[in-house]
Amino acid sequence: MSQKQEDENPVEETGEEKQDTQEKEGILPERAEEAKLKAKYPSLGQKPGGSDFLMKRLQKGQKYFDSGDYNMAKAKMKNKQLPSAGPDKNLVTGDHIPTPQDLPQRKSSLVTSKLAGGQLE
Amino acid sequence: MARSRRRRLPRGGNDFQWCFSQVKGAVDEDVAEADIISTVEFNYSGDLLATGDKGGRVVIFQREQENKSRPHSRGEYNVYSTFQSHEPEFDYLKSLEIEEKINKIRWLPQQNAAHFLLSTNDKTIKLWKISERDKRAEGYNLKDEDGRLRDPFRITALRVPILKPMDLMVEASPRRIFANAHTYHINSISVNSDHETYLSADDLRINLWHLEITDRSFNIVDIKPANMEELTEVITAAEFHPHQCNVFVYSSSKGTIRLCDMRSSALCDRHSKFFEEPEDPSSRSFFSEIISSISDVKFSHSGRYMMTRDYLSVKVWDLNMENRPVETHQVHEYLRSKLCSLYENDCIFDKFECCWNGSDSAIMTGSYNNFFRMFDRNTRRDVTLEASRENSKPRASLKPRKVCTGGKRKKDEISVDSLDFNKKILHTAWHPMENIIAVAATNNLYIFQDKIN
């Protein structure tokens, strides 16, 4: 698909001929890879470096625990039995009442680093 | 010609002959997440080598003094100190988990007997003091040798406590904690040549600190757009110039570098120089911007050049020329035809670092399959080496490795499809004066030395 496009745009013969050729050879694999990706994920956006991608990067580490949700759900469920955590323990939102056990453990590393223990030559 | 035992400057221009020296860390196949090394840094003299890991721990190695009775241990690095620098935190207000992973360690130049370093995770920077204690006082009046308080009525005579030697104890204590200045994740810290200030950079902002002051920090770069929908690039790395205390650079996810001069204005949103290599628009693809994102920027020791690392190459820039780099070195060009799968397994977002040797004649960076690459700028020769326990006999020479891209694979070559993309070498460091390198391979730290060293 994309390779055909490349053949229709002839390389300009300039002094930097060799560099151009190398770049052309670099284009083909990249475009081929792009075609492969688009074939797998047709809904992939046109702007790869766009704000969606960057926003995701900025939001690394987001975990969802809302104390308001927690208390509201607790009040609603006062007399009923608390539902146990679903298969996806990491996602705790809304009516589900999270317990400390649901949240992934964040123990600090009290064990000494293995780099510091034992002389391995 | 008599060869001096300790060279002051490394040889430039000749081929290095790298030999295995040491490897630190566990041998198990099962690597605990916390043991993954996340930063490696020599101090200014090269006598100390610090590592930080995902578990928030710092381990410092010290080079052994040359010892006539144990000649083979000349120049070996052994554990000097280890401590827990950062702990995991949870910001309840923003529902944010703050990892304890040490993103960067930077040493301060030594000013007295103690050593100081800055270590940072995503949100907080800490100044650590590492000091030695080799004496202790004995003969206190009010307490026994084992610490028990003596009954004051039983004390009939006074004595002067005397200092007695003790086994060396190395203590690390946090002297300053620089917190709450970054909304986004800190990717860089850099100590200024004035030895008084340092900068910390996150995705959108750069702050300037004074080492003595923790409750105040100056924002010197802010690229956050008024409307976050308009966000097009983030800051990926920043560094102070090695000699000019008013100059720093920062790189972006779009492959550009901005040099700023703090004398021109308090807020350096307007750069003094803008470095960008022009792109051939016809070669643009979905991956172009992602692979052009700069993962590391390092000034040369001379201060005349800077080096940037993007996904497939390392570029050397002359600070006096903004429109293109003076050198481009391909790290693993054969990956260009694998970008689709590298995007799917997220490897395309791996952040490789790069470093200069002491004389700026060579540069080094990591790759996959525990390979790392070295480029000699004078001879224009490059080599691929591997950090592996299979090649870990003391003083064994490292054999150059080769990746085969075409159909016919020669003996000793490895094909692109056989590369292990989980074995990434993201962090490497080069001794500031000698040809000694430290290479972090996941949870192991390898130290290699040049044969002539």
Which helix (H) or strand (E) segment is B174 a member of?
A: strand B162-178
Phi, psi of A68 (to 5 degrees): -65, -50
Question: What average pLDDT is seen over chain A?
Answer: 61
Helices (H) and strands (E) in chain B, counts: 2, 32
Q: Given this model, what pLDDT does residue A94 score?
A: 58
Interface of B with A in 370-389 (CB under 8 A): none
CA distance B392 to B390: 6
Q: Given this model, what pLDDT does residue A12 score?
A: 37
The answer to the question of residue A53 being in a domain is yes
Q: Given this model, what pLDDT does residue A111 score?
A: 72
Q: Domain span at residue A39?
A: 29-59
CB proximity A101 to B under 8 Å: no
The answer to the question of residue A34 being in a domain is yes
Q: Sort out which chain B residues have CB atoms less than 8 A from A9's CB and list them.
A: 282
> Which of B97, B233, B283 is nearest residue A106 as measured by Cβ atoms?
B97
CA distance B250 to B392: 38
CB proximity A12 to B under 8 Å: no
Contact criterion met (CB < 8 Å) for A30 and B339: yes
Closest residue in B to A120 (Cα–Cα): B24
Q: Given this model, what pLDDT does residue A72 score?
A: 73
CB proximity B287 to A under 8 Å: yes
CA distance A47 to A53: 9
Phi, psi of B271 (to 5 degrees): -75, 160
Q: Given this model, what pLDDT does residue B346 score?
A: 93
- Å from B244 to nearest chain A CA? 31
Q: Given this model, what pLDDT does residue B360 score?
A: 98
Q: Which of B49, B187, B343 to mutate to test the interface with A (most CBs of A within 10 A)?
A: B343
Position A88, amino acid: D
Closest residue in B to A61 (Cα–Cα): B97
Helices (H) and strands (E) in chain A, counts: 4, 0
Contact criterion met (CB < 8 Å) for B339 and A51: no
Q: Given this model, what pLDDT does residue B266 score?
A: 87
Contact criterion met (CB < 8 Å) for A61 and B90: no
Distance of CA B40 to the CA centre of its chain: 4
CA distance B354 to B297: 8
CA distance B355 to B42: 11
Strand order in the sheet with B296-299: B296-299, B305-309, B313-318, B327-330
Contact criterion met (CB < 8 Å) for B35 and A108: no
Strand partners, B248: B240, B260
**Sequential DSSP letters for B101-112:** ---EEEEPPP-S
The answer to the question of residue A13 being in a domain is no
Report which DSSP code applies to B379.
T
Tell me: the pLDDT tens digits for A48-104? 556 667 777 777 666 666 667 667 766 776 655 555 544 454 555 555 555 555 555
Using DSSP, state whether B12 is helix, strand or coil: coil
- Å from A19 to nearest chain B CA? 12
Q: Sort out which chain A residues have CB atoms less than 8 A from B26's CB and list them.
A: 114
Which domains, ranges and CATH numbers included, belong to chain B? 18-450 (2.130.10.10)
Q: Given this model, what pLDDT does residue A102 score?
A: 57
The answer to the question of residue A109 being in a domain is no
**Sequential DSSP letters for B111-129:** -SSSEEEEEE-SS-EEEEE
Distances (CA, A) of B284 to A35, A71, B60, B326, B333: 13, 52, 44, 22, 16
- Please indicate, yes or no, whether the overall pTM of this predicted structure exceeds 0.95: no
Distances (CA, A) of B17 to A15, B309, B447, B450: 38, 24, 14, 5
CB proximity A9 to B under 8 Å: yes
Other C-beta atoms closer than 10 Å to the C-beta of B271 total: 18
Which helix (H) or strand (E) segment is B339 a member of?
A: helix B339-344
> Which of A34, A51, A121 is nearest residue B232 as measured by Cβ atoms?
A51
Beta strands in B292-347 (DSSP E): 296-299, 305-309, 313-318, 327-330
Distance of CA B122 to the CA centre of its chain: 15
For chain A, what percent of residues have pLDDT higher than 70?
Answer: 30
CB proximity B29 to A under 8 Å: no
pLDDT along chain B (453 residues), means of 10: 47 71 89 94 97 97 80 80 93 83 98 97 98 92 86 89 94 97 96 98 97 97 92 96 98 97 91 94 90 97 98 98 97 96 94 98 98 96 95 88 85 92 98 97 96 70
Is the pLDDT score of A117 beyond 70? yes
Q: Given this model, what pLDDT does residue B412 score?
A: 84
The answer to the question of residue A46 being in a domain is yes
Q: Sort out which chain A residues have CB atoms less than 8 A from B389's CB and list them.
A: none
Q: Given this model, what pLDDT does residue A104 score?
A: 56
Position B309, amino acid: R
Contact criterion met (CB < 8 Å) for B283 and A23: yes
CB proximity B122 to A under 8 Å: yes
Closest residue in B to A9 (Cα–Cα): B282
CB proximity A48 to B under 8 Å: yes
Residues A121 and B23: beta-carbon distance below 8 Å: yes
For chain A, what percent of residues have pLDDT higher than 90?
Answer: 0
The answer to the question of residue A12 being in a domain is no
Interface of A with B in 56-75 (CB under 8 A): 57-58, 60-67
Closest residue in B to A66 (Cα–Cα): B95
Q: Given this model, what pLDDT does residue A47 score?
A: 58
The answer to the question of residue A69 being in a domain is no
Contact criterion met (CB < 8 Å) for B35 and A29: no
Residues A34 and A2: beta-carbon distance below 8 Å: yes
Q: Sort out which chain A residues have CB atoms less than 8 A from B234's CB and list them.
A: 54, 57-58
Contact criterion met (CB < 8 Å) for A30 and B231: no
Contact criterion met (CB < 8 Å) for B285 and A54: no
Nearest CA-CA partner of A29 in B87, B285, B144, B160 = B285
Q: Given this model, what pLDDT does residue B96 score?
A: 78
Nearest CA-CA partner of B262 in B272, B276, B275 = B272
Q: Which of A3, A23, A41, A114 to mutate to test the interface with B (most CBs of B within 10 A)?
A: A114
Using DSSP, state whether B292 is helix, strand or coil: helix
Contact criterion met (CB < 8 Å) for A51 and B230: yes
> Which of A37, A49, A57 is nearest residue B340 as measured by Cβ atoms?
A37
Using DSSP, state whether A38 is helix, strand or coil: helix
Count of structural domains within chain A: 1
Using DSSP, state whether B408 is helix, strand or coil: coil
